Amino acid sequence: MQQAELVITDIGQLVTCAANGRGPKRGAEMREVNLIENASVAISDGIFTAVGPHQEILDEFVGERTFSAEGRAACPGFVDPHTHIVYAGDRLDEFVLKLQGAEYLDILSAGGGILSTVKKSREASVDLLVDESLARLNKMFKAGTTTIEIKTGYGLDTKAELKMLQVIERLDVIHEADIVPTFLAAHTIAPEFRNDPEAYVSLICEEMLPAAWNWYLGSHFYQKSTPFFCDVFTERNAFDVEQMGRIFATAGSLGFRLKSHVDQFSNLGGSEASIRSHAASIDHLDAISEREVGILAESDTIGVVIPTENFSAGKVEFAPARRLIDKGCAVALSTDFNPGSAPCPSMPMAMAIASRYQRLLPSEALNAATINAAHSVGLGDRFGSIEVGKAADMLILDCVDHRQIVYEFGGNLVLHVIKRGKFTSNG
Ligand SMILES: [Zn+2]
């Protein structure tokens, strides 16, 4: 018999989302969730050491601690690959204005929207930002998100962007969740550069990116080999494809990995340009062209769709996630948790919307929220599936069939969050 720190037994339905050493799941593979009936898992040092049928594990392992799932379903902890949870204040007034008919770009042109969050976030101390962000992180964790990408982008000057990075690092140190940092100085044109966007792009390339990379090399993230991403918001009133190319060229040469906001409102050619720059993911994709869908399918880039944003805006049109999968792309899901367009901490909510409006099957939504999301933040070899050698991140669900997590919405079916082998109970 082998010793394990923890053995979890009697899992009625274990959905592993295992990719068996391959990359992200694409096309028809996204229907396969690798389900084991009546399963158990053994965990030591925060890592899965065995995963398999109940009796096989019990014959081989004895746990210092044993926990029975009592026939419930279990799945990997969710990975949220696109969020903006570090900010001060809220956008409640803007929400009400939008309900009364104001458009996002109108609010942006009027100096409202994102710039009101920039103003409050610049004024806030590191401690205040940590407190407010931690409350959001706790909500996400309770809803089953165990790995989370967090972007800067509400500082828009070197000092304030570095402050946001410090907050993101602090969150990773104090919270159980694993965090992936993304530098998004190119979220929108800084207010000081409204009349000279090119000068802001130069500031990003010549001062901000080198300063951010220098910060990363001394950070906790570098020590634990967590990748550092650079992201650009390509859109009218933000950055064009040429500017994105300049930022990507500088970031890539420093060592950043790349991802981009593209095709949210209009197609400027950002998807193709990002794929050609070997971006790990392209996110939003509402306006992606048929030709670009083909290019994405042939690439290693992952398409991240964000149905919470459309839902929050009351839209009836969504990114063509069904077509992306049918054409053979690897698709991931995110909440885009942010104060303006998607104040949503719940991956199950994103999955529920994706199934109804984008016609993803429960199995596809689950792979999109776990293994593919992990690959889209460069961590597919460590998180996103229940496999021997991976971080022991697992959710015990208050149901017996995993499809319930997509079918039911508005509550929380996550009964226990297990992060690196440690238990947190929502009960
Ligand atoms: Zn975003």
- Mind listing the pLDDT tens digit for each residue in 110-161? 656 888 999 999 999 999 999 999 999 999 999 999 999 999 999 999 999 9
Q: Are the beta carbons of 87 and 119 closer than 8 angstroms? A: no
Residues 6+ apart with CB under 8 A from 332: 24, 81, 281, 302, 303, 304, 305, 368, 369, 372, 373, 375, 376
Is the pLDDT score of 169 beyond 80? yes
Q: What domains are defined for the chain? A: 2-77+384-425 (2.30.40.10), 78-376 (3.20.20.140)
Beta bridge partner(s), residue 42: 7, 50
Q: By CB neighbour count within 10 A (0-12 exposed, 13-18 middle, 19+ buried), where does 17 fall?
A: buried
pLDDT confidence of residue 297: 98
pLDDT digits (tens, 9 = 90+) for 188-222: 999 999 999 999 999 999 999 999 999 999 999 99
Count of residues in the chain: 427
Ligand 1 centroid to residue 102 C-alpha, Å: 20
Ligand 1 centroid to residue 82 C-alpha, Å: 6
Residues 6+ apart with CB under 8 A from 282: 259, 260, 262, 263, 270, 271, 274, 275, 296, 301, 302, 303, 304
pTM over 0.85: yes
Ligand 1 centroid to residue 265 C-alpha, Å: 13
Beta bridge partner(s), residue 148: 80, 179
> Mean pLDDT in the chain?
96
pLDDT confidence of residue 103: 81
Q: Are the beta carbons of 48 and 42 closer than 8 angstroms? A: yes
Ligand 1 centroid to residue 12 C-alpha, Å: 37
Ligand 1 centroid to residue 197 C-alpha, Å: 20
pLDDT confidence of residue 398: 97
The helix/strand/coil state of 373 is helix
Nearest alpha carbon to residue 391 among 402, 400, 381, 399 = 381
Nearest alpha carbon to residue 76 among 304, 422, 337, 417 = 417
* Least confident among 90-99, 121-130, 137-146, 260-269: 90-99
Calculate what percentage of the chain has a pLDDT beyond 90.
90
Count of alpha carbons within 13 Å of 296, Cβ hemisphere only? 34
pLDDT confidence of residue 97: 80
Tokens for 20, please give them: 């068996």
pLDDT confidence of residue 102: 83
Is the pLDDT score of 426 beyond 80? no
pLDDT digits (tens, 9 = 90+) for 283-331: 999 999 999 999 999 999 999 999 999 999 899 999 999 999 999 999 9
Nearest alpha carbon to residue 267 among 302, 299, 236, 301 = 236
Ligand 1 centroid to residue 350 C-alpha, Å: 14
* Least confident among 233-237, 247-251, 395-399: 233-237
Rounded to the nearest angstrom, the gap between the alpha carbon of residue 255 and the centroid of all alpha carbons in its chain is: 21
pLDDT confidence of residue 88: 96
Ligand 1 centroid to residue 7 C-alpha, Å: 38
Is the pLDDT score of 427 beyond 70? no
Ligand 1 centroid to residue 303 C-alpha, Å: 13
* Least confident among 89-103, 146-160, 260-274, 326-340: 89-103
Beta bridge partner(s), residue 37: 13
